[in-house]
Each structure stands twice: as structure tokens, then as C-alpha cells.
Amino acid sequence: MNLNEAIAKYLRVLAVEKGLSEDTIDSYRSDLALFCRTFPEKQDTEDCYAYDLTEFAIAQDNASMAASTVARRLSALYRFFRFLSDEGLMEAPPDHPSRPKLPKRLPVALSFEEVEALLDQPDTDNESGARDKAMLETMYACGLRVSELVSLRLSDVNAKARIVLIRHGKGAKQRSIPISSFALEYLQDYIQGFRAENPGKKSAEIFLNRQGTPVSRMYFWRQVKKYAEMAGIDKDVSPHTLRHCFATHLLEQGAELRVVQEMLGHTHLSTTQIYTHVSSRRIAEAYEAYAKRK
């Protein structure tokens, strides 16, 4: 659903069903409009994630807003996200934010070995497994949002240049991301193999279910959960975890923060800086484990 349409629907609910005053509704409208201006790439409810609460808090904190103001805006965004979740328009947001600062809980980041174990789970001898393998490899190789992944089109992939064009949201800035030859191989195998026999083979979207329609975000979310369990990963893994891993692993390998920001499509550098905390923590943990062995 278009994000502005969802906001308008939510405000109507506040007025009609909740009976809130006009001043209170205006306050909600202002806070949600600020969220949209802060993240202009978010044009649809499918572009919204629970972790946006943290990213919004960081942006507000960096703007030197009063803690009480940030707390109120976070509360408004949280309640809106709860509404979207109840309507089935997004995954459930986290617990109500109690502090307008960067929370201690950082994004879940898997090790290289854990990512490899996760990506190795799909059975590529059948259609769903070959498709899921291509989706997992593409998402991790390019750091895509799940909404970007499921809407990826055949025309967005330049195999010769090894470039993927990301069209995120209506009217939002496009970005080109390199894709590894390893991931591209699985992507092409699926396109030229099982997808070529799919009922929806003439569709623009790459990733299709057996009925020939694009794979849904929620379906892929369930598949990632299943593969993580099969891999024996005892962490709260979701499709967005692979995007976190993409950023964290790039920084650990020495990539510049601005480059990672561009590849992720972040509007604010402060959002990308979250991953420097993750990579630093992982390096410290690795050293601690090394020291104990010594």
C-alpha cells in the first residue's frame, strides 16, 4: 500500500474509531510527515521495517532534537507501525521504544561461516530451492531490502557488466550495485532453468512462485527462517539480517563507510554508521576468543 495512503487511513482511524482530538491528529500527521521527509525512499508500506524506529531515532538525535520531542515522535511512529502490522502491511515492530537514543541491541550479524551455512540450505535440484538459492545469494551479494529483492526485474540485471539496478520506491533515486560472479551464476541458472518453464515466464519480475506470480515478502521471510533453522543458527534471523551482514562484512573487509552508504541506499550516513558498531563489536569478540585460547 502507498505509504501516504496508509498514513491517511491511519489518521481517519484515529479520528473516527479512537475519537482523538483534531490537535492530537495534527501532531500525528506532522510526526509521520517528518518520517517520510527523513526517508524519502520509503514510498510503500512494504518499504517499512521495525528497525526504522532505530534509524529514525538516530537521525533525530543527530539533529540535536530534545529528548522529549524525539520520544514523542518515536511513539507516534511506533503506533503507526503497530497499525500497519495489525493490517498485515508489515512485520510486527519491536517493543515500544522507551529511549530516543541508539538502543544497545545492535542488528543481528552472522559470521561468514553462518551466512555460508544459511545460503547452502536450499535444494537447487527443484524449482523452489533454485529460486530461493538465487534470492539468498542476490540479497547477500547486493545488500538489498527484501522489498527490492522481490520486485527485482529481468531488465534490472546487466549480466555482462555484473550490475544490478535497484528501483526503490516510486520516484526515488535509483542506484546500481555490483553483483558477484558467484551470485550472478545462481541467478542466471534460475532464470535460464526453472524460471523459463514457469507459467509466469513472461512476467517482468524475476522471482516467481509456482503459480507464476511474484514471490511475496512474507513467503521469503518464512523461507529464510526455515533455512536458518536447518543451518542450526541460534539467532533471530530474517531477510533483513542478510542486508546487515552485507554491510558489516564489507566494513570488516575495509570498505569505506560512504561506499557502503551508497550501496545500501541510505539517505543519512548516520544510519550506515550503525554497522561500524556491529563490526567493531565483532572484532572485539573475535580478539577476546583468541586471547582466551592463548
Contact 190, 130 (CB under 8 A): yes
Residue 4: DSSP 8-state:
H
User: Whose grid coordinates read 514510498?
Assistant: 43
Q: Tell me the C-alpha distance between 157 and 166, whole Å.
A: 9
- The SS3 call for residue 137 is helix
Find where cell 530534545 sits. 66
| Cell numbers found for residue 16 | 473516527
Question: Which residues are marked as active site?
Answer: 145, 170, 240, 243, 266, 275
CA distance 32 to 76: 7
CB 75 within 8 A of CB 97: yes
Q: What's the angle, vertex CA 178, arms to CA 213 and CA 142, rounded to 5? A: 55
